A and B are shown apart, each in its own frame.
Chain A
Amino acid sequence: MKLGPVEFLALILLPLVLGVAVLRALGIRHRTDPLAFLGWAWVAGGLGTGLILYVWLWTGPDLGSGLVPSLALLASSGVLFFLGRRTETVPGEHPLRAAEPAWEQVFCRMAIAFVIFLTVERIMTGTLIPMIAGDGAGIWGLKSKAIYASSGFTPKLAERMSQRIFVQKDYPLLNPLLQLWTFVNAGEITHVANRLPIQLFTLAQPLIVVSALLRVVRPGIAGLLALALVAPSNSFFQTRLAASDAMVGLGAVMAFDAWIRWRRGGRPAWIGLGALALAFMLWSKNEGMLYLASMIAAPALLLAVQPRRWSFRFRPRGRHAWMLLPLLVLCLHWSFNRSLGFSSTISKAPEGNLLHLFWSQLGSYSPEVLGYFAAEIALNPSHSNLFVPCLVVLVLAFPRAIWRTELRPPTLALCFAYLGLLAAFIATPARNVAWQLDTAAHRVFFQLYPVTVLWLGYTAGSLFSRLATGREGELAAVSPT
């Protein structure tokens, strides 16, 4: 069986329908946010498809037919649609308001259309390259092929993955599972089409980020930031490859957006969406753990420093059960690795654990890591458009405004995430840190680029009232002077 038109539609539409059903169960409809909706739906559908495949693969199934998971996806969608019937809908809000100048709205619309067109074009031309090199093929694609060839999570899988060709066996499963979803639909291992489910996350990313920007900053700035979001060469490569860096970055920025919406609207649907984004982030790549730790450390520090000012009451409700989703994903990830005996190469480093490596290499590796970060990441316009130094300047210019308002948790979390990545490179078990930086730093630091772009928009809208948009302009009363 090959991937014909019907199988191709099933590959895309079934996860998308599931994603729409998940959002409906949360109370989020298309009219809630027409721009971000498809992006959210693909993320939710991808995560849901991964969970269904995960359960199915433990049964040692016949992977020659995708009937069982397809039916499971349809059934789950039906149940979620039914559950979503009575869920209160989050009201829609048109991101572009009549109050803003027409030229700015036209510019913003053109920028969004250009960004979407360009991303689609990149995805299409990316399919001309079969998966025969790089991490997308070597780490993620190979794992999905091994699962497929072993008929699921069977003892054969551990044996097959003991081959020398397999590296980073402990990496999270979502990417391989979604590539396997293509194999299941095609009835065979493919070398091109299996990248498509992953590539579509790079289309979801600008939809989600631009929609978030339009709510925090005026359309002219949002349009410019949208163009800057997809311009770096790393964005180009992410769109053409099937590595998980784009996925983990997408989960982080989607969680940040959900947090902003929750802070400004207070609707529990955004907690659900944020939890879903965190689960997606954690199941995409191990850096997700670092970003989650940063997100937890930021409010924890605030509570420790000023417990009265930042304390909050939490009344658990049914819908808060979504917050268990990241925990569930972590349990699945750990239990899978444990059952097959996979562990991180870092945990097996003969020099000791990560913390030990960090302290022992702090003096010798710091200058090289910090120098590389400054020259190749922060001050390199083609990597991240100089947005990291801009972040630093804004934090230094407005310390009180950021320290005293709702800007503080995301700012701290983002700074912790950057520091965490720097610490991870200092603690690398590789003997040659220069090689490690050359091969990974550009790609890994770029995971935080979408969050940095949204942070800039959010902070600018909060600090400079003239740059804020609509209702957010009223909320941008950050006036410490």
Chain B
Amino acid sequence: MEPTKTRRNVLGLLFVLFVAWRGSASTIDLAQEVFRTGPDEIIQALTLSQEERIHKEFEKVAVENGLPSGRESELYRALRDHVAKDGLVVFLSRISPESMITYSHMELLFFPSRYLFLEELPQAWEKMLVKSNVECNFVEYDRPAIGPLDAKCKLLASGNGFRLLRYRGTDK
């Protein structure tokens, strides 16, 4: 059953009112969004380097997730400065939201470096590393130092709650 001409006009008017309602609600949302964005954000978007954006984001994530300020940036710099592009990084940490966030950030940022998350060092770890024939590094993150690593690795960097070590057997 199709509407009569009058009903059609009424439905047309209702449609206009509906679109006006949604359009005006949208305008309010959008205006609020514009006012939320300060000019400093635009200036930063035009001037910051990629590195500065990365560190800024690390700080934001730290605040949002209760991570220690500056830790991720320190770890990022250490990995950037010491680990080869095709190196292996074994990330030793307890499973926690904080460690998983940091691990996934580093894994994405440093690809094609290969990252591996482990809670504990496997018993036959040295055999496995020698076989892999790539430069192998360890990150001890938010956990006590692991004795066997100290004997077999050299310390590359350390910071707030982390140590970066390289296994001497694959050091190139």
State the A residues within 8 Å of B (CB). Answer: 114, 118, 121, 124-125, 127-133, 137-138, 141-142, 145-146, 149, 160, 163, 165, 189-193, 221, 223-225, 227-228, 230-231, 236, 381, 385-387, 390, 394, 397-401, 456, 460, 463-464, 466-467, 480-481
The residue that A385 contacts in the complex, of B22, B34, B104, with Cβ under 8 A, is B22
Shortest distance from the beta carbon of B68 to any chain A beta carbon, whole Å? 18
Query: Do most interface residues of chain B lie in helix, strand or loop, or is the interface mixed?
Result: helix
Measured CA separation A211–B62 after assembly (Å): 43
Q: Does B48 contact A (CB under 8 A)?
A: yes
Q: Contact check, B8 vs A118: say whether CB atoms are below 8 A apart.
A: no
Closest to B106 in A: A132
Known: A118-B33, A190-B50. A381 touches B109 (CB 8 A): no
The residue that A142 contacts in the complex, of B5, B56, B108, with Cβ under 8 A, is B108
Known: A480-B2, A481-B2. A228 touches B53 (CB 8 A): no
Q: Does B134 contact A (CB under 8 A)?
A: no
Q: Contact check, A231 vs B30: say whether CB atoms are below 8 A apart.
A: yes
Q: Contact check, A398 vs B109: say whether CB atoms are below 8 A apart.
A: no
The residue that B45 contacts in the complex, of A127, A130, A236, with Cβ under 8 A, is A127
- Those 8 A-B pairs whose CB atoms lie nearest each other, nearest first: A224-B23, A231-B26, A464-B12, A149-B112, A124-B45, A227-B26, A228-B26, A385-B22
Per-residue contact bits, chain B 1-34, to A (CB 8 Å; 1 contact, 0 not) = 0111100110110011011101111110110011
Q: Contact check, A192 vs B53: say whether CB atoms are below 8 A apart.
A: yes
Measured CA separation A464–B131 after assembly (Å): 74
Measured CA separation A139–B12 after assembly (Å): 45
Q: Contact check, A401 vs B29: say whether CB atoms are below 8 A apart.
A: no
Closest to A465 in B: B12
Measured CA separation A394–B11 after assembly (Å): 9
A189 partner residues in chain B, CB cutoff 8 A: 111
Closest to A236 in B: B33
Q: Does B94 contact A (CB under 8 A)?
A: no
Shortest distance from the beta carbon of B65 to any chain A beta carbon, whole Å? 11
Known: A191-B109, A481-B2. A121 touches B34 (CB 8 A): yes
The residue that A128 contacts in the complex, of B4, B16, B25, B48, with Cβ under 8 A, is B48
Q: Contact check, A128 vs B53: say whether CB atoms are below 8 A apart.
A: yes
Measured CA separation A131–B114 after assembly (Å): 18
Q: Does B46 contact A (CB under 8 A)?
A: yes
The residue that B5 contacts in the complex, of A129, A190, A193, A481, with Cβ under 8 A, is A481
The residue that B111 contacts in the complex, of A133, A142, A399, with Cβ under 8 A, is A142
Q: Contact check, A225 vs B41: say whether CB atoms are below 8 A apart.
A: no
Shortest distance from the beta carbon of B119 to any chain A beta carbon, whole Å? 16
Of the candidates B8, B12, B20, the one having the most CB atoms from chain A within 10 angstroms of its own CB is B8
Shortest distance from the beta carbon of B60 to any chain A beta carbon, whole Å? 8
Please give the number of chain B residues whose Cβ is less than 8 angstroms from any Cβ of chain A in the complex: 44
A223 partner residues in chain B, CB cutoff 8 A: 23
What are 28 A-to-B residue pairs whose CB atoms are below 8 Å? A114-B30, A118-B30, A118-B34, A124-B46, A125-B45, A128-B53, A128-B56, A130-B53, A132-B54, A189-B111, A190-B50, A192-B53, A193-B50, A223-B23, A224-B19, A224-B26, A228-B26, A231-B30, A381-B22, A385-B22, A385-B25, A385-B26, A386-B22, A387-B22, A398-B2, A464-B12, A480-B2, A481-B5
Q: Contact check, B111 vs A128: say whether CB atoms are below 8 A apart.
A: no
Known: A142-B111, A221-B19. A128 touches B44 (CB 8 A): yes
Measured CA separation A476–B20 after assembly (Å): 22
Measured CA separation A327–B70 after assembly (Å): 51
Q: Contact check, B19 vs A163: say whether CB atoms are below 8 A apart.
A: no
